Amino acid sequence: MAHEIMISYSLQDAPIAERVRTYLEDNGFSCWTAGRDVLEGEDFGAATARAIQGCRVMVLVFSSAANTSRQIIRELKLADDANRAVVPLRIEKIVAAGNFAYFLGAAQWVEAIGGPNTEHLQRLDAALRRYVGRGENATAGSQPIAMPTTPNQPLSEHRAGPKTFEPQKKKSERRWVRPRNAYFAWGLGLLLVGGLVWKSGKMAISRQAKPGTAKVNSSDNLKYVWIPPGSFRMGCSDGDADCSADERPAHSVRITRGFWMGQTEVPVAAYRQFYQQTGRVAPTAPPFRQGDNDPAVGVSWHYANAYCGSWASGRLPTEAEWEYAARAGTTTSRYGDLDQIAWHNENSNATTHAVGQKLPNAWGLYDMLGNVWEWCSDWYGAYSASPAIDPQGPASGQQRVGRGASFFYDASFHDANIVRVSVRGGNLPEITDSNLGFRCVRDAMP
């Protein structure tokens, strides 16, 4: 079913997008969001292309995260090609950069800095009613804003300034082609439109990488693997008797957007380039020898976050993304035989080992279990039993999440039973340790 409004947003802004959708649907609009409307197993790119083709208006939740999203740029390009109007809802005081400046240069912005609150949403409501031809029913108290001269005026035309249209003639004044010619023209038009929609969907599908496809990230020269969107059960695996309280309750999680994840933990050589070229402090040497291909350790959350962000053009994974990628479609406590997939305290000789030496999981990721703990972006906190869509973790906290366990444990983690996909740890973000490293993700790859 086609929707009037397609809401585009970055992964970090999913809660705001859901708030916008709820408000608009409560006020009579039909809306499409990836978090709700991409079905499990459905191709994300093709579903998004169909939503853009079928909508009247795209609402873009515009933030610093959205301002660097290649996925959103692709969505704006599809909207431009389909002559769909775009209304950016700006939630941060930032300026559109690069291609965003091109696509949004003539768009009619709705300001929602620090929000959106009810007033912001009323303004958005009023703007959208003009686009879909319901301006007379605009929400009371909403503020009018300047709009393009027609509800679906193409962005490419609006950039050159408002077009002047001749007044529509009365029905009696219109001149019509002969009916047979009209039917032929209409049929040809439908065939052309259908062909364009099919081609767009086919191109979107072809651009979607296969799970496990690897690419070199030109920013840090490491291989990253494509992780498709999907759903999984997060937390204690069925039948796992070794789970701690913080791994419960198990709950359903949906990852709506695919991402690229580092195929291995960031190795020593790559991290050395980062701290030497950015003037950061070198990590304290661990109490064992390391080679260039061993995972970097002694890295605080802050430094790991900086490496993944400004250096690798990505970010740290969320805890949900990490577990989803580690499971790679499996539902058991491990994705393979422990000794074959992980360096742990019973086979590591109390030291790290070169990354990528054990067997990978089904999506081609190495050392998701063992070798070193891996920082995630989330604050550490208790789970909720409620289903979640692209969870980001608690809004605040004292400790950041670590995942995957390592080659060595303290008195709390005394045996190999801790090396499981659901195991969690928490550490102060400034902490550094000889068994704590990280890997990065990217939302898109050039």
Sequence-ordered strand ranges (E) for 314-381: 373-379
Segment 345-349 mean pLDDT: 91
Cβ-contact 36, 10 below 8 angstroms: no
The pLDDT tens digits for 383-422 are: 999 999 999 999 999 999 999 999 985 434 445 588 999 9
| pLDDT tens column, 287-314 | 999 999 999 999 999 999 999 999 999 9
Strand partners, 110: 89
Instruction: Return the pLDDT at 412.
Output: 42
pTM: 0.57
- For the residues 327-344, what does the mean pLDDT come to? 96
Pairwise CA distance, residues 132 & 127, whole Å: 9
Structure-token pair, residue 116: 């959106």
- Residue with tokens 């990065």, as numbered in its chain: 440
Instruction: List the strands of the sheet with 230-234, edge to edge.
Output: 230-234, 251-255, 388-389
Lowest mean pLDDT among 146-155, 235-244, 368-377: 146-155
CA gap 239, 332 in Å, rounded: 8
What is the percent of the chain where pLDDT is above 70? 81
Q: What tens digit of pLDDT does each residue of 112-150 get?
A: 998 899 889 999 998 898 887 765 443 333 333 333 333
pLDDT band for 204, please (50, 70, 90 cuts).
Answer: very low
Neighbours of 307 (CB within 10 A): 25
CB 207 within 8 Å of CB 45: yes
**Which domains does the chain possess?**
5-166 (3.40.50.10140), 214-442 (3.90.1580.10)
Q: How buried is 171 (Cβ within 10 angstroms: 0-12 exposed, 13-18 middle, 19+ buried)?
A: exposed
Query: For position 176, what pLDDT does the model report?
Result: 31
85/128 Cα distance (integer angstroms)? 10
Tell me what the mean pLDDT of segment 185-205 comes to: 48
